[in-house]
Amino acid sequence: MKFSLPTIQSHIFKRLFFICLAGFFLALTFGFGFVAGKNAEQPTLTIAGVVNKDIPQAFQNTLNGTDFDIFWTAWSRLQEKFINKDKMDSQKMVYGAISGMVNSLGDPYTVFLPPQQSKAFKDEIKGSFGGIGAEIGIRKSILTIISPLKDSPAEKAKLLPKDQIIKINASSTAEMPLEEAVSFIRGPIGTTVTLTIFRDSFNEPKEFTITRNEIKIPTIKHESKGNGIYYIALYNFNEVSGNQFRTALQGFFDSKDKKLIIDLRNNPGGFLNMAVDIASFFTPAGAIIVREQYHDKTEDLYRSTGYNLLNGVPVVVIVNEGSASASEILAGALRDINGSKLIGEKTFGKGSVQELINLPNNASLKVTIARWLTPNGTEINGNGLEVDRKVLVPEKPEEGRDYYIDTAIEMLKSR
């Protein structure tokens, strides 16, 4: 029997939602100031003129007496005193100033992308790319693996969530911006990159040499587990996730199974609209799936479309430290709205929203503009979601046994 499954409505989103990514705003202040003031003999008066003339009043009000004199004085003294005049690149100096401004915010996901990095980032989000297949982010100021992607070089090299990347080839990652680290790890297919990794079980860092390959992000796996239990593993939330989830649901209905396991382990997230769409199969129309909260505490509420075909179906959701972003949204919504149980380990805690802003000269700004809260108001970012039951794996696990799935089956048998 074929069930009529809802189709995804067409949406155009200018915001981007990704594992381990971020952004910025006042770059134009430095741009205008540079053009008007680089040859000025009185930097204070010149920058004041620029602010009063060229910057909208709304932004002038945010300056709060900020003294730009120190910037222009430093600029002019460098132009006057620096010994290697032939090595001075004014455009790079401007880019460096913008990067420093953005870094001062202390948000690893808010970054300035000069033209070359901006192009690489935009190429990456189009689909496939050359790399090792690991989502990375910044955790406690350290470059960290969020999750290796399914069947990727990173997974085959046995990289794990929470692995700390100490070096990329010979370059230390201390204070290295996230996008710069990504650009170092990415490279031509067939070439290698060496990551120096530290994890809790290591006595000292170890080197992993990984061969780059084309990365095609996997989406879904599904099958019946017997005992009336169906299993759906979501590896990513990309543009095809919604339709592939519909295919999995057809398999669920055809199987006559009555209970579901949703496996979100090592799912680094992806598109917000896909998480909302999938959550809509479990929730009534109008139910809040996620709250998007801005700096002034106002909120955009993303609500269920109300497909509601799975409302009342017992569900266990498997998560781990590699579950981030959109996967945390789905897990949080299923628990808050439907009472689904979360098992495994505490999730990563990537719950912020980034917007990509195009700047002059093909540069761009990726700026964090909001944070995500679950329907009941639990903040995801920096906290993650605690599980209802932690899965304990023996020090010497049985080969081929998945203790997480076994635990989920055990819980569903009793429901």
SS (H, E, C) 327-363: HHHHHHHHHHHHCCEEEECCCCCCCEEEEEEECHHHC
> By the 8 A CB rule, do 34 and 71 touch?
no
Nearest in space to 265 (alpha carbons), one of 160, 379, 140, 411: 160
What is residue 30's three-state secondary structure? Answer: helix
Nearest in space to 52 (alpha carbons), one of 71, 32, 23, 79: 32
CA distance readout (Å), 409 to 1, 259, 264, 336, 392: 26, 9, 15, 21, 15
What single DSSP character describes residue 174?
T
What is residue 291's three-state secondary structure? Answer: strand
Residue 118 burial by Cβ neighbours in a 10 Å radius (0-12, 13-18, 19+) = buried
What single DSSP character describes residue 86?
G
Which residues are catalytically annotated? 325, 336, 350
Residue 166 burial by Cβ neighbours in a 10 Å radius (0-12, 13-18, 19+) = middle
Task: Identify the H or E element spanning 45.
Answer: helix 43-54
CA distance 217 to 78: 47
Residue 285 burial by Cβ neighbours in a 10 Å radius (0-12, 13-18, 19+) = exposed
Residues 6+ away with beta carbon under 8 Å from 386: 342, 346
